Structure 1
Amino acid sequence: MKFWVRILINAVLFMALAGFLKENFYVASPWVAFLASVVLSLLNALVKPILFILSLPITVVTLGLFSIVINGVMLQLTSTLVGSDFHFSSFGMAMLVALLMSICNTIISNYVGSNHSSD
C-alpha cells in the first residue's frame, strides 16, 4: 500500500510542479504524471543503486550533494522513457525538479509517516 501512496504523491507533485514551472517542465495529463511516477519508481529501484555505487567517491567528496545530480539523471531518464508528454527544458530544470520533489517528499513523508491520532 505504501508503494502506491508514494506513486500517487509523486504524480500529484509532478502535476503541481509542472503547473508552477510551465515554461520549463511539461506534463500532458494526470495519467502521464501517473505513468512517469511508476517509471521513476522502477528506475529508482533498478538503476539508481548502480549509479549510486558508481558515483560514491564523488558523492562522498561533495558531502552527498551529488545525489541531487543522480536524482536529476533519474528524472531525465524518466522523461526519455515516457516520451514527449513528459519533458524538461534542460537538465538543470530536471535537477531543480528533483530537488523540489525531494524537499516535498521529505515533508509529506514526515507528515504521513507519523501517527497524528489523538489516542
Structure 2
Amino acid sequence: MKRFLVRLLINSVALWLTTLIVTGVEVVSYGPQGDTLAYVLTLLLVAFIFGLVNGIIGNLIRIVAFPLYILTLGLIALLVNGLLLLLVAWISDLIGFGLTVETFWWGVLGAVVLGLLSWLIGILLRPIVGRSR
C-alpha cells in the first residue's frame, strides 16, 4: 500500500511538472479557478486513472504488440504511450474535468516528458522510500 501511494504521488508531481513544461497538455480542476486543494485532488485523480490505464491496457498492448516493439526497436512505445495519454484525457473528459491534450503529437511529447519526470523523481525518492530494485 505504501508503494502504491508513493507511486501515485510521484505520478501526480510528474503530471504537474509535465503540464508546466508541455503547453499542449493541461489539467482542468473540478473546482473554481485558483482553488489549490481542488487542483491537487484533480492531479491525484488523473494520476490514479493514468496508473490504471497504463497498468491494465498498457500492459495488454505491450504484450500483443511485442513483435512491433522488436521490429521498430522500441520506437513504437512512443506512439503507444501517447495513445495511452490520450485515452486518459478521454476518460477524464467523460467525468467532466481532468487532463486535456490538444493533439496526438502533444500527447506523445507529454507522455515522453511524463515518463522521464516520473523516472527521475522515482530515482530521487528511492533512498527516502528505502526500496531498491
The normalised TM-score by structure 1 is 0.85
Conservation of the 8 A alpha-carbon contact between 2:22 and 2:109: no
Compute the RMSD of aligned alpha carbons.
2.0
Kindly state the Cα deviation for residue 105 of structure 1 after the two structures are TM-superposed.
1.9
Q: Aligned letter for 2:26?
A: Y
Shift of 1:25: 1.4
Cα separation, 2, equivalents of 1:108 and 1:36 = 18
Give the corresponding residue for 1:36.
46
Match of 1:87 in 2: 100
Separation (CA, whole Å) in 1 of partners of 2:15 and 2:121: 14
What is the aligned counterpart of 1:74 among 74, 81, 84?
Answer: 84
- 8 Å contact 2:22–2:110 — kept in the other structure? no
How many equivalent residue pairs?
Answer: 116
4+ residue runs of structure 1 moved beyond 4 angstroms?
A: none
What is the match of residue 25 of structure 1?
Answer: 25
Q: Please give the secondary structure, in 2, of the residue aligned with 1:64.
A: coil
Amino acid aligned to 1:73: L
Post-superposition CA distance 1:15-38 (Å, at most 9, x none): 22212334x112122222111100
* Unaligned residue ranges in structure 2 (runs of 5+): 29-38
Instruction: Give how far 1:39 is off.
Output: 0.6
Structure 1 position 97 matched with structure 2 position 107: no
Give identity over the alignment, percent: 22
Any gaps of 5 or more consecutive residues in structure 1?
A: none
Report the TM-score when normalising by structure 2: 0.77
1:98, distance to aligned residue in structure 2 (A): 0.8
Q: Which has the higher contact order (CA 8 A, sep 6+)?
A: 2
